[in-house]
Amino acid sequence: MEGLLKAELAAIASASPPSLRHLVDAHFDFIARSVRRLGVAETDVDDAVQKVFLIAARKLDAIAAEHAKSFLFATALRVASETRRARKRREAGEMAAAEAFAPSSETPEDLATAHQARALLDEILDAMPMEVRTVFTLFELEEMTMAAIADLIPLPRGTVASRLRRGREIFHAEAKRLRAQHAQVGIEP
């Protein structure tokens, strides 16, 4: 199946490399950030991005230039979802085993640093339904305007606004929960 896909892509790429190249050059960074924020682990980002563009290459003829970003983002959503599920299956047992040990005794301040902060952000984003997470990350992390998000997904602007509100509610609630959780650990005897 994969071999077939690659062979197919080879033909497409050789027929229209400039278009595909343009897609990659123009949207690579955005797609890489997006799949990461949609829940793909850092170590899986490269593979996920490649998959997005492989799919795009197969459907190149059907992608209108003005909708390319929208198409790629929709593809990234699906790929991210698949990648997340696959990783969860792989790690379920490992994580469970790891969690059997004592939690960190670090304080919230300690945790709010680079790597750990990013891991906590993942935990918060994971608590959001995907449609909410999508809008939240595009607005708060990608810093797109609500109008641009409505065009990208596409969605009515009112829906974008309501999902962003919901995302923010979840963000505040989860951040509060995490802070309390780690503060509790910090004072644990």
Partner 1 sequence: MNKDRRLVDHGADPFEAALLRSARRDGASAKHQRTLAALGLLAGGTTGALKAGAATSASQAGAAAAGKGASLSALKTLSAAKLLTWLGLGAAGGAVTLAVVQSRLQLPAPPRLDPAPSVIVAPLPHLRSRVPPSNELVARPEPSVLAGPSTLVEPPVSRVLPPPDRVRPRVARRTEGLSAAPAPEQVAPAAAPREQVAPAAAPREQVAPAAPDALLEEVSLLDRARLRLSRRDAAGAQQDADAYLARFPDGRLASEATVIRIRAVFLSQGRSAAAPLAEAFLRQHPDSPHASSLRQAFPTPSGAPDR
Reduced 3-state DSSP string for the chain = CHHHHHHHHHHHHHHCHHHHHHHHHHHHHHHHHHHHHCCCCHHHHHHHHHHHHHHHHHCHHHCCHHHHHHHHHHHHHHHHHHHHHHHHHHHHHHHHHHHCCCCCCCCHHHHCCHHHHHHHHHHHHHCCCHHHHHHHHHHHHCCCCHHHHHHHCCCCHHHHHHHHHHHHHHHHHHHHHHHHHHHHHHCCC
Which residue in 62, 64, 66, 114 binds partner 1 (CB under 8 A)? Answer: 114
Minimum CB distance to partner 1, residue 96 (Å) = 6
* Nearer residue to partner 1 within complex by CB, 46 or 129: 46
Which residue in 10, 15, 65, 173 binds partner 1 (CB under 8 A)? Answer: 10
| Site for partner 1, residues 41 to 70, rule: CB under 8 A | 41-43, 45-46, 49-50, 53-54, 57
151 binds partner 1 (CB under 8 A): no
121 binds partner 1 (CB under 8 A): yes
Which residue in 62, 64, 66, 93 binds partner 1 (CB under 8 A)? Answer: 93
Which residue in 67, 131, 146, 186 binds partner 1 (CB under 8 A)? Answer: 146
